[in-house]
Amino acid sequence: MSDVPLTAAVKAFLARPHGQFIQGNACISHAAPLIDIINPANEEVVAAVATASRDELNAAVAAAKGSFQSLWANFNPYARGVILNKLADLIEQNGEEIAQLDTLCSGKSINLSRLFEVQQSAVFLRYFAGWTTKISGQTLQPSFPSMAGEQYSAFTRREPVGVVAAIVPWNFPLMIGIWKLGAALACGCSVVIKPSEFTPLTMLRLAELAKEAGLPDGVLNVINGGGDTGRQLIEHPDVAKVSFTGSVATGKKVNMTAAADLTRCTLELGGKNTAALLQDADIDRAVAGLLQTGYIHQGQVCAAPERVYVHASRLDELTGKLGAALAAAPVGSPLDERVVFGPLSNKPQFDKVCHYLQVAGSESRILSGGEVIDRPGYFVQPTIVRAASATEVLMQEETFGPVLSFMSYDEDDELLALINNTPYGLGTSLWTNNLSAAMRMIPQVESGTVWVNMHTMVDPAVPFGGVKHSGIGREFGSSFIDEYTEVKSVIMAY
Ligand code: NDP
């Protein structure tokens, strides 16, 4: 097995100093504290990024506000779409550089980096580009009394909200960033984005490509730092909207910070997503689906299934076949195209998953995997856990790792209560060919998305978001327009 060689562009990018991207320029403050970017596959430092100072944060918001007011809010809609499409082209043209930078920071397999961070980023951007010319209001007829023959008409305008603070996690740092900035820019908002401190490089490269695509200076700005930098950004009085993706715990803090100044806020948060196999489920199909969605990127996917309810008559068949498939999948360097399982993305995440493996091990519930892999980097085995109760830790808490917990049920009418027995509600999948059973269950499942015979897949045309503690608001579809525009009503007498 061997790694793909790093391209010359990647080596050159890594060798550069990294800081912020403000008003169309890279800003490097040499006095600023540096954050080391660690390759999770070998724990080596691949680059360092300077933390944004308070002055740089203020400059980024000022650049976004200035470009919004003077230019971008009233920019020709078709021309906005042309720029977003051009940016999608540039992402693809520079795809191998972006994919390798992502794999070096996040440990995602190079195949997945190419598929999601490059191809899907371009797909989502082109979707948002198509909307720039289709954002519209309504024409309405008021019912006011007419005293002297006057008539009335009303219409609504969709106006961009202003400066958007986008805060994104480390699991899909570019694609999730594009979900936010593509939507914001399509609506005429300007953006200050804060990547995770573990994965800032691809967003800095994207900002350069956006400039090359013709995006006016100041419309997209990137600032780096940890959670405190994110908090300071949200608190800035010129931020009109916060779009956050991350954990439930941080999301609650973000919501409180935003609410203190009545800043509008959408939250895409974590969960404890369920796959529920009805008695008739096609087990081979479910095994392939769970492999593809539960263990992809080592389970570090917000919508990934983490708890699986299976009819008692099918549990052993499912876990046996899944265990065999996991054992056959190669583990190793994520830069090796043949590898399926790479490392967890960073040390805190590794520690968190190790904790959950200990919990599972102490209760003798591990059916497959369960060990840390003895090699440099943050590697653990993909794991299958057998749960005895729906209330135990591994059936309730998000591990965000390659740890799926399986529990059996006996009667179909138990299943809905089991699915809904969680404070979260991001995604649920039902595995059955009984269309009638699925259609009757769907309205009762407390979840932002319900998949049938599939899981996790998101599409730009289909709204995505959580209920209960998994979030507030929706991305994609046409729903994003509500999130990034304000409705202005105009009423006229004539
Ligand atoms: P975190 O909540 O730890 O961090 C998310 C982002 O918020 C990071 O950029 C982080 O910075 C920043 N941040 C941390 N504290 C604050 C604060 N007080 N104010 C403002 N920003 C702050 O999440 P992770 O990065 O660990 O991502 C994993 C989580 O994200 C999982 O729970 C997963 O389920 C969820 N997720 C949800 C998705 C969805 O669409 N629903 C999609 C993907 C992930 P830094 O990293 O530098 O500390």
pLDDT > 90 fraction of the chain, expressed in percent and rounded: 97
25 phi and psi, to 5 degrees? Answer: -135, 145
Of 361, 346, 447, residue with least CA distance to 403: 361
pLDDT at 136 over 70: yes
Q: pLDDT averaged over the chain?
A: 97
User: What is the predicted pLDDT for the residue at 437?
Assistant: 96
Q: Take residue 107 and report the two structure tokens written for it.
A: 């440990």
Cα 182 to chain centroid, rounded: 13
Residue 471 Cβ inside 6 Å of ligand 1? The answer reads yes
Residue 475 Cβ inside 6 Å of ligand 1? The answer reads no
Listed in sequence order, the residues at least 6 apart from 148 whose beta carbon sits closer than 8 Å to its beta carbon are none
Residue 258 Cβ inside 6 Å of ligand 1? The answer reads no
Task: For residue 139, name the pLDDT band (cuts at 50, 70, 90).
Answer: very high
State yes or no: is 96 an active-site residue: no
- 295-322 pLDDT per residue, tens: 999 999 999 999 999 999 999 999 999 9
Q: Take residue 412 and report the two structure tokens written for it.
A: 């179909």
Task: State the average pLDDT over residues 420-447.
Answer: 97
- 182-199 pLDDT per residue, tens: 999 999 999 999 999 999
User: What is the predicted pLDDT for the residue at 29?
Assistant: 86
User: What is the predicted pLDDT for the residue at 75?
Assistant: 98
Listed in sequence order, the residues at least 6 apart from 411 whose beta carbon sits closer than 8 Å to its beta carbon are none
Active-site residue identified among 189, 302, 306, 398: 302
pLDDT at 367 over 80: yes
Domains of the chain, CATH where assigned: 8-269+471-490 (3.40.605.10), 273-459 (3.40.309.10)
pLDDT at 413 over 90: no
Task: State the average pLDDT over residues 441-464.
Answer: 97
Of 300, 384, 347, residue with least CA distance to 113: 300
Q: Are 52 and 32 in contact (CB under 8 A)?
A: yes
pLDDT at 362 over 90: no
User: What is the predicted pLDDT for the residue at 441?
Assistant: 96
Q: What is the DSSP letter of 312?
A: G
Is the model more confident about 258 or about 29? 258
- Helix H, strand E, coil C: the string for 335-391 is CCCCCCECCCCCHHHHHHHHHHHHHHHHCCCEEECCCECCCCCCCECCEEEECCCCC
- 63-101 pLDDT per residue, tens: 999 999 999 999 999 999 999 999 999 999 999 999 999
- 348 CA: nearest ligand 1 atom: 26
Q: What is the DSSP letter of 444?
A: G
pLDDT at 30 over 90: no
User: What is the predicted pLDDT for the residue at 69?
Assistant: 98
Residue 426 Cβ inside 6 Å of ligand 1? The answer reads yes
Task: For residue 363, name the pLDDT band (cuts at 50, 70, 90).
Answer: confident
User: What is the predicted pLDDT for the residue at 94?
Assistant: 98
SS3 (DSSP) at 147: coil
- How far is ligand 1, taken at its centre, from the CA of residue 248, in Å? 8
Q: Which residue's CA is the nearest one to ligand 1's atom 44?
A: 302
Active-site residue identified among 56, 197, 268, 475: 268
Task: State the average pLDDT over residues 326-341.
Answer: 96
pTM for the whole thing?
Answer: 0.96
Q: Take residue 422 and report the two structure tokens written for it.
A: 């969680």
Task: For residue 1, name the pLDDT band (cuts at 50, 70, 90).
Answer: low
